[in-house]
Amino acid sequence: MSSQEQLLEGLNGPQHEAVTHGGGPLLIVAGAGSGKTRVLTHRIAYLMAARGVRPGEILAITFTNKAAAEMRERISALLGARAAASMWTMTFHSACVRILRREAHRLGYPSGFTIYDSADSARLMQLVCKEMDLDPKRFPPKSFSAQISNLKNELVDYDTFAEQAQTEQEKKLAEAYKLYQRRLHEAGAMDFDDLIMVTVNLLQMFPDVAEHYRRRFRHVMVDEYQDTNHAQYVFIRRLVGVESDPDTAVVPPSELCVVGDADQSIYAFRGATIRNILEFERDFPNARTILLEQNYRSTQTILSAANAVIERNEGRPAKNLWSEQGQGTPIVGYVADNEHDEAAFVVGEIDQLTDDGSITPSQVAVFYRTNAQSRVFEDVFIRMGLPYKIVGGVRFYERKEIRDILAYLRVLANPEDTVSLRRILNVPKRGIGARAEESLELFAARERITFARALRRVDEVPAMATRSVNAVRNFTALLDELAAGVPGSTPSQIVEMVLAKTGYLSELTESKDIQDESRVENLEEFVDVAREFENTFSALLEDEAALEGEEGPGTVEEAEPTLVDFLERISLVADTDQLPDADAEGGVVTLMTLHSAKGLEFPVVFLTGLEDGVFPHMRTLGDKTQLEEERRLAYVGLTRAERLLYVSRAAVRSAWGSPSYNPASRFLDEIPPSLVDWRRGEATVLSAPPGRGIGGARRGSGFGGEGFGGTFGSRKTTARTTEAPSLSVGDLVNHDSFGMGRVQLVEGSGDKTKARVDFGADIGEKDFLVKYAPIEKL
DNA sequence: GTCATGGCAACATCA
DNA sequence: TTGCCATGAC
C-alpha cells in the first residue's frame, strides 16, 4: 500500500473528501468528536505526499498552545519531526508575533518589542487614567481596558472611534485610547490585541509584506474557526488573499481550509463571532462546505444528553451527530450538600474506579466553570493522596516574585518598557518612593520624554531630595551593570545574574517569613524553566534552519535563544507543560475549567458545579445571548466524555466567605431524566435556612473510609448558630483544610475565643477564632 | 520612606 | 477568602 493510501485508510466519506479536497476555500463543519484533528493532520500529510507541498508552505493556526502542541505532535508522528518543525503550527498570537518581529520596525516598533499581558496593560491604563486626572469611580480603568480591547478586536482605531464618540464617557474613552496607544508605542510594547491588529495594519499598509507571506504560505488552515473575531478574520483574509482584491493580482490566493463548529463557540466574550463561520461561503466565493457528523468519541447516552442540551439554543443550523458506539453506561448524577462534599464524592469515585484497575488517573478529568472552584478539589485530592494536575488557574507566571524578575528581564530586553521599569524601580527597596516616582513622572511629562529617559536626567528633576537623586543614580548604575552582562549570556544565566546583583534573592533568603521560602523555590524553578527553554529551543531552531535555508539568516550558529525569545515564550505560552503527560505511568487526574477543556477528550469526565449562578454563571442569567454561550460551554463539557460521565452540584457553596444557596443548573434539567442514574438526588439541606443553622447536616464523609472527607463545610455559617466547640489544651481536632491537629493554646472567651492548633510538621501551628474556624473536636 | 492596619471589592472564561 | 489601596505611626 502506498503512503497516500495509508493516509486515506479508515477515513469515512466526508473525512476522505475533506482530506483530498483541492482548489477553492474549504469549510469543514466538524461536530464534537468527529475526528477533525485527524482530518486536519491527514490533510496536511496528504498535501505533502500527494500534491508535493513543502512543509514550509503550510500555516496551521490553532487557538490554544495545547492544540498547537497536539497538532505538531501528530504531524510529527505522521511525517517526522523535521517536517513538523519547519511548518508554522501555532496560535494566532504566536504567528502574528513572528511576523511582527520581522516587520514591526516599519511602524516604529523595535523588533524586540515587549508583549504586555492583561495585567501589564491594566497597569498602563491605570497610569494613563491617572495622567488624565480621571475619577476612577466614574471612569474605571478596568472598564476602559475592556472597551479598548473590544475596539481593537473590531479593528477600530482611536481616530475612528473619536470621530463617532458622543457621550462624555465615549469622549474620555477615545482620549484614553489614544494616550494609552501612545504610551504603548513609546514603551516599545504591544498588548495582546495589538498583536493581531497591528499585524493587520501592517499587511494593509505594506502590500509587499502581504505578498511575501502570501507567497510563503500557499496553504493556510484555521482550527476552531467559530472562535475567530473580526480582527483575526481580516488577518486571514489578508494573508490568503481573495480573488476580487486588486492587490492579490500578483500572487493568486492561497488555499484556505477552516474547521469549526458553531455549537462550540465559547469565546464571544473576547470578540469571537459565529458570523465568521456562518458566512464563510459568502466571504470566500467558490467555497465548499463539508459536514462531519459521525462521532467517534462518545457513547450514544452521552451524545443524546449533549444533543438535548444544545437543542435549546435557538436558530442554530440543525446537525445530526451520531455514534456507532452503543448506549454505554448511564450518566451518574450526584447532589452534594456543599462543595466539600461534592469534591469528596468526586475523589471517592475516582478512587474506586482506579482501584479496580479499569481506569488510570490520567483517563479522568474534572471540569468546573471558574478557576476559583479548583481549590476545594485540590484540598481533597491532596488529603486523599490522589495525584492530580491543575491546568491554568493561579499561574506560575502570575506570582509576584516571578513577575518582578520578569520585569527586570523585560527592561533589559527593552529599556523603554515603562510598566516594567516602574514595577522594579523600588523592588527590592532602594529608597525610591512614591514621591520620587511622581516627580520623575511629572518631569517626563513636561519634557515630553519617556520615563526611562527621565531617570537618566534625575539631576534636572526639580524638588528632588538629594537622597532620592542618589538612589536613582544607583538604580540606573545597576541597570547598566546588568545590561553589560546580557550579551553572550543565555536567558538562564541572565536570570541568575539578575537574582544575584539586584539583591532580590538575598532579601528573600534572609527573610524570616515562611512564604519567602517558597518564593525562593519558585525562583529556582524559574531558572530551570529558562534552562529547559534553552535546550528545547536550540533543538527546534537547528531543525528549522536545516530545512529552510532561504528563510532569513537563521543559521545554525545563531541558534542560541535570546532574551527576547525567552520572554516571548513566556508571554504567549503560559500553559506550557500543563497538558497531562499521557506517557507517565498511570498519570494524574486533570483538573481544569471548561474553557481549557475544549478540544480534549477523556474516558471519564466529572462535570461539577452544575448550579444556576455558578454554571450558568450569575452574570449571564439575564441575557439570552450570553446564556446560549453558557449552554454551548455545557455542550463542550458534555461532549468531552468518552465512556463515563458524572454530573454533580452542591446545594450550598461558599462564595467569598458567606454561603450561597444555588438551585440546580437549568442545563441539568435539560438532560433527559432517563439518561441519568442519580446516586444522590437531593441534598440534606434543601434551601436557605430560615432561622436555623445548617450545622445539623453533618455526616461522615462516607468515602475512602478516611473520615477526613471534609463534609463539615457548613460550619462556615455558624454566624447564626452558637455552637462553637469548647476547646481546651491537648484536645484533638479536625480542620476542614488542615486535617487533624492538637490544641496548643486557648485564649479569650465567648465569641473571641482563639485557639492555637498544631497540625504537625508539614503544616505547623495555626491560630483560629474558634467561633468561625471550620474545626471539629474529636 | 517604610511598614502595619483595616476597609473594601472581587470570581468569568484565554492568548 | 484574598488582594489591593488608603491611612497613619515611626
Give me the sign of the Cα torsion angle A489, A490, A496, A499: positive
Give mean pLDDT, residues A168-193: 93
**Which range has highest mean pLDDT (A12-26, A368-382, A763-777)?**
A12-26
Q: A323-395+579-685: what CATH class? A: alpha beta
Grid coordinates representing A22 are 483541492
In this predicted model, which residue has the larger pLDDT, A626 or A750?
A: A626
Least confident segment among A81-85, A435-439, A575-579, A611-615: A575-579
A510 touches strand B (CB under 7 A): no
Give the active site residues of A: 36-37, 223-224, 264, 640
Q: Of A254-263, A365-374, A753-762, which range is least confident?
A: A753-762
- In this prediction, residue A690 carries a pLDDT of 42
| pLDDT above 50 (res A17) | yes
- pLDDT reading at A774 higher than 60: no
Res A544: pLDDT: 53
Helices A374-384 + A339-356 axis angle, to 10? 50
CA quadruple A159, A161, A166, A169: dihedral sign: negative
pLDDT in the model for residue A555: 41
Can you tell me the mean pLDDT for A31-58?
Answer: 93
pLDDT at residue A576, as a whole number: 44
Mean pLDDT of A503-527: 84
Q: What percent of chain A clears pLDDT 90, i.e. is strictly above it?
A: 55
pLDDT, residue A522, reads 86
Domain assignments of chain A as residue spans, ordered by start: 3-101+196-293, 114-187, 323-395+579-685, 527-562+709-777
Residue A389 pairs in a beta bridge with A590
Measured from the Cβ of residue A658, the count of other Cβ atoms closer than 10 Å reads 9
> φ and ψ at A543, to 5 degrees?
-55, -50
Q: Which of A537, A523, A165, A593 lies closest to A374, judged by CA?
A: A593
Report how far apart, in Å, the C-alpha atoms of A319 and of each of A149, A262, A263 are: 33, 10, 9
Q: Which of A107-116, A435-444, A550-559 has the lowest mean pLDDT?
A: A550-559
Q: Is A628 exposed, middle or buried (0-12, 13-18, 19+ CB in 10 A)?
A: buried
Is pLDDT larger for residue A727 or for residue A108? Answer: A108
Q: Provide mean pLDDT across the span A229-254.
A: 86
pLDDT of A698 strictly over 50: no
Residue A763: its pLDDT value, please? 54
CA torsion, points A16, A19, A23, A27, in degrees to nearest 10?
Answer: 90
Long-range Cβ contacts of A526-529 (<8 Å, 24+ apart): A526/A402, A526/A405, A526/A495, A527/A492, A527/A495, A527/A496, A527/A499
Least confident of A210-219, A454-463, A539-548: A539-548
Q: Give yes or no on whether A3-101+196-293 and A114-187 have one common fold.
A: no
- The protein residues having a beta carbon less than 7 Å from any atom of strand C are A 126, 656-657, 772
**So what's the pLDDT on residue A646?**
97
Flag the least confident range among A237-251, A269-283, A465-479.
A237-251
Question: Nearest 5°: phi and psi at A453?
Answer: -70, -35
At residue A297, the pLDDT reads 95
pLDDT of res. A715:
29
pLDDT, tens only, A516-529: 888 888 899 899 88
| Residue with cell string 531552531 | A541
Whole-number average pLDDT of chain A: 84
Please check the confidence at residue A312 and state whether its pLDDT lies above 50.
yes
A434 CA: nearest nucleotide by C1': B1
Cα distance between residue A503 and residue A478, in whole Å: 11
- Report how far residue A492's alpha carbon sits from residue A488's, in angstroms, rounded to the nearest whole number: 12
Three-class SS of residue A738? coil
CATH of A3-101+196-293, one of 3.40.50.300, 1.10.600.10, 2.40.10.10, 3.40.50.150: 3.40.50.300
Task: Determine whether the distance from the CB of A372 to the nearest atom of strand B is below 7 Å.
Answer: yes
Interatomic CA distance for residues A516 and A736, integer angstroms: 25
- Percentage of residues of chain A with pLDDT beyond 70: 84
SS3 A648: strand
Task: Please check whether strand B approaches the CB of A429 to within 7 Å.
Answer: yes
CA of A462 to C1' of B11 (A): 44
State mean pLDDT over A199-218. Answer: 95
Average pLDDT over residues A524-538: 86
End-to-end Cα distance, chain A: 71
Coil, helix or strand for A707?
coil
Judge whether residue A600 contacts strand B, using its CB and a 7 Å cut-off: no
Q: Which nucleotide is nearest to A769 (CA to C1')?
A: C1
The CATH architecture to which A114-187 belongs is: Orthogonal Bundle (1.10)
Going by pLDDT thresholds of 50, 70 and 90, the confidence category of residue A237 is very high
Query: Do you know the residue count of chain A?
Result: 778
Instruction: Kindly state the average pLDDT of the residues A628-644.
Output: 95
Distance CA A262, CA A333 (A): 28
CB-contacted nucleotides of strand C (7 Å): 1-2, 5
pLDDT band at A160, cuts 50/70/90?
very high
Q: DSSP readout, A125-156?
A: HHHHHHHTT--TTTS-HHHHHHHHHHHHHTT-
Q: Using CA atoms in the order A354, A359, A360, A365, what is the torsion angle rounded to 10 degrees? A: -100
